[in-house]
Amino acid sequence: MEKILVTGGAGFIGRQVCRELLGRGHEVRVLDNLIEQVHGNGARPADFPDDVELIRGDIRNGHAVERGLKGMDGVIHLAAEVGVGQSMYEVERYTSVNDVGTAVLFERLIAQPVRRVVTASSMSIYGEGLYRDADGNFIQDAERGAIREGQKSWEPTDEAGRPLEPVATPEWKRPSLASIYALNKYVQERTTHIMTAPYGMEGVCLRLFNVYGPGQALSNPYTGVLAIFASRLLNGQKPMIFEDGKQRRDFVHVTDVARAFVDALELPQAAGGTFNIGSGKDRSVTEVAQALAGAMGKNDLEPEVVGKARTGDIRHCFCDTTLAAQKLNFNARQDFSEGLAELAEWVGQQTADDRVGNARAELEARGLVA
């Protein structure tokens, strides 16, 4: 048994990580700022585990971090501002919380080192996923031309104009940082790996793909796409889909993600690694929106495909899970249809403010939607 600090542990993923840690016999402490965008009134979440000590504090506050680290054996670092679109205009806030906050954590860890730090990263660092061209060559830096409303094709092409085939993205693909959020997460990764070994610690980073499940912040229009769709459907509105809806993603259940975090904390062979965490299965955004509408009994609310793109968005990116299977013994266990049914049941018991229109207006006002 170890004592583990979970930064951002009152959030959607964090609460599930806490439950997984408790289930394996660990003692758990959480440092979380309980910000309004995620937590509404800022109160302790109703489903926050009773056996977890909660310190309300900002990851950038050195004194709060010192208090959180006292007596700890390990850290799972989840505290972050999350949202590709919002990061493109709330640049100072995202960089301050994500990058400076991580710097404060590791500076305090110099005086109070732990055995291992596991940091949450994101598939967003890849930008476009891995592709294969018509000659069978892997393309790591696929790009799309200038995106304009009403264009006929959203797909990346090679220099000859031939379409590229998306394939599962492995960890060796070069980063392509297309948003401030992606840049932040890459800085968090590198900070973790740079700062652990010299101070006698071990570092692990997990690149999360699209995480879903009960407990998501339904009123946060910058959270995961399934939560955004669920909020729209709950309020009798059509899910809003950018581009043509055929972009492909990998959706992984929060319980699988929580298990991956604790395995990354415990398993000796994980030390020093960076791992993709996803289901290994890709689905189009439209397919997912329609499936969720069906699970919620809202089949009449067909997705609204807006035919526009947001700056920082990518076309296709889904998960190659080979390395995580080898080093973490990780394979996603949750069936997607069953997971959607569980999510739909939970959403039906919630209330949510649909703020998606406001978020889109913010992006459009800044020229970030074309």
Q: What is the phi/psi pair of residue 304, to 5°?
A: -95, 110
Contacts of residue 343, Cβ cutoff 8 Å, sequence gap at least 6: 212, 213, 214, 226, 230, 292, 295
- What is the enclosing helix (H) or strand (E) of 149? none
Q: Is residue 13 within a helix (H) or strand (E), and if so which, with residue range?
A: helix 12-23
Nearest to 201 by CA among 292, 265, 134: 265
Question: Which position among 181, 186, 212, 222 bears the catalytic label?
Answer: 181
Question: What are residue 150's phi and psi, to 5 degrees?
Answer: 85, 5
The amino acid present at 19, given as its one-letter code, is R
Q: What are the Cα distances from residue 28, in Å, to 11, 31, 191, 215, 265?
A: 14, 10, 24, 19, 13
- Starting at the edge strand that comes first in sequence, how are the strands of the sheet with 27-32 ordered? 53-56, 27-32, 3-7, 74-77, 116-122, 202-208, 274-277
Does residue 181 have an active-site annotation? yes
- Candidates 242, 334, 341, 227; CA nearest to 285 is 242
Token readout for 10 is: 């009152």
Supply angle C-alpha 99, 255, 345, rounded to 5: 115
β-strands 240-241, 304-305 pairing: parallel
Whether the CB-CB separation of 235 and 302 falls below 8 Å is answered with: no
CA distances from 158 to 44, 92, 140, 141 (A): 51, 35, 11, 10
Burial of 190 (0-12, 13-18, 19+ CB in 10 A): middle
- What is the set of active-site residues? 181
